[in-house]
């Protein structure tokens, strides 16, 4: 209730506060943010809030335009420069900022725009992957699945496309395609990326998953963590990490790396928790997600996959 009242009061008095600060500093809110906040999530989040709360009609139109191009995934390496220049030009004119007197503003503001709407575009891309169902008739999907097996079990030939061997890497049955229903091809891409880019860590985690006392279903847990990573991306919690982790237009690679961190750290928590059986999975996952959310509340947070492989 108090938070709601404070937000309401702030929104009501915001124009007056901005006017006072503009008169005393001779700078608009966006300038104060770009000059006063450190590079990374703190600055980008503040710029994003300022743009979305702006009552300036030109700024509102700009935000709608940027939302549209990102929703259509039109921000590419070729189009990006033109889009950023248009955003910078609009703000310079709307806020009456002299680019000669403030040469650093355009660069700082442009980088914020790139990350803000790059994140939005990343959400669209990842969601499209999630909606893409695994198709056994799709040669690319089948090759990706076989690649996962070969990365995790390079010395054990697969006896057939449908076989109980899939359970050795944590699928539920003889045909893994049924396990991707919730997360689609995104779940498979995450697993393959982890196994390919961090092979030692992936094999280490796989070894933990077959522990005689604390074992778990590697692939199924991995798909569940894809769901968690997507949840954090969708609700904006992952912005802190993404805004601190990348310096250019975010791609699906940053999501895969975020997933790898979650996969590795969840495995560590699972083993440290010494669960009596898989029935404790939901409780431990909830504890894990809460801890990640707490870390993401810190605007300085950036996750790195810090591999320190030890014995089971």
Residues with Cβ within 8 Å of residue 142, at least 6 apart in sequence? 136, 161
Please say whether the beta carbons of 37 and 43 come within 8 A.
yes
Reduce the DSSP state of residue 47 to 3 states and report it.
Answer: helix
Average pLDDT (194-203) is 96
pLDDT greater than 80 at residue 78? yes
- Residues 81-109 pLDDT 10s: 999 999 999 999 999 999 888 889 999 99
The four Cα atoms 287, 205, 198, 223 give a dihedral, to 10 degrees, of -60
The C-alpha atoms of residue 137 and residue 165 are separated, in whole angstroms, by 21
pTM comes to: 0.89
Average pLDDT (252-273) is 97
At residue 1 the predicted structure's pLDDT band, cuts being 50, 70 and 90, is low
Q: What are phi and psi of 235, to 5 degrees?
A: -85, 5
The more confident residue out of 193 and 181 is 193
pLDDT greater than 80 at residue 11? no
Reduce the DSSP state of residue 161 to 3 states and report it.
Answer: coil
- Residues 41-68 pLDDT 10s: 999 999 999 999 999 999 999 999 999 9
- Residues 165-181 pLDDT 10s: 999 999 999 999 999 98
pLDDT greater than 70 at residue 24? no
Domain ranges of the chain: 2-125, 132-296
């Amino acid at each position: 209730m108090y938070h709601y009242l404070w937000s309401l009061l702030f929104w009501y008095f915001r124009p007056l506060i901005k006017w006072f600060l503009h008169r005393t500093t001779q700078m608009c809110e966006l300038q104060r943010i770009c000059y006063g906040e450190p590079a990374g999530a703190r600055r980008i989040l503040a710029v994003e809030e300022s743009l979305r709360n702006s009552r300036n009609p030109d700024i509102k139109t700009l935000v709608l335009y940027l939302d549209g191009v990102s929703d259509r995934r039109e921000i590419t390496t070729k189009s990006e420069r033109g889009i950023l220049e248009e955003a910078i030009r609009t703000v310079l004119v709307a806020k009456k900022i002299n680019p000669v007197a403030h040469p650093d503003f355009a660069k700082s503001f442009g980088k914020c725009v790139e990350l803000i709407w790059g994140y939005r575009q990343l959400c669209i891309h990842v969601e499209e992957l999630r909606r893409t169902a695994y198709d056994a008739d799709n040669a690319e999907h089948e090759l990706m699945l076989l690649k996962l097996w070969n990365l995790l079990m390079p010395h054990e030939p697969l006896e057939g496309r449908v076989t109980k061997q899939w359970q050795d890497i944590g699928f539920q049955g003889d045909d893994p395609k049924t396990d991707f229903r919730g997360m689609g091809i995104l779940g498979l891409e995450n697993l393959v990326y982890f196994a390919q880019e961090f092979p030692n860590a992936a094999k280490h985690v796989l070894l933990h998953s077959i522990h005689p006392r604390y074992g778990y279903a590697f692939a199924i847990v991995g798909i569940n963590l894809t769901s968690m990573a997507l949840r954090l991306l969708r609700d904006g919690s992952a912005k802190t990490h993404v805004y601190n982790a990348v310096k250019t237009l975010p791609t699906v690679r940053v999501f895969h790396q975020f997933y790898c961190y979650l996969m590795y750290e969840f495995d560590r928590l699972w083993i440290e928790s010494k669960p009596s059986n898989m029935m404790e999975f939901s409780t431990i996952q909830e504890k894990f997600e809460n801890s990640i959310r707490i870390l993401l509340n810190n605007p300085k947070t950036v996750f790195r996959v810090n591999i320190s492989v030890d014995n089971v």
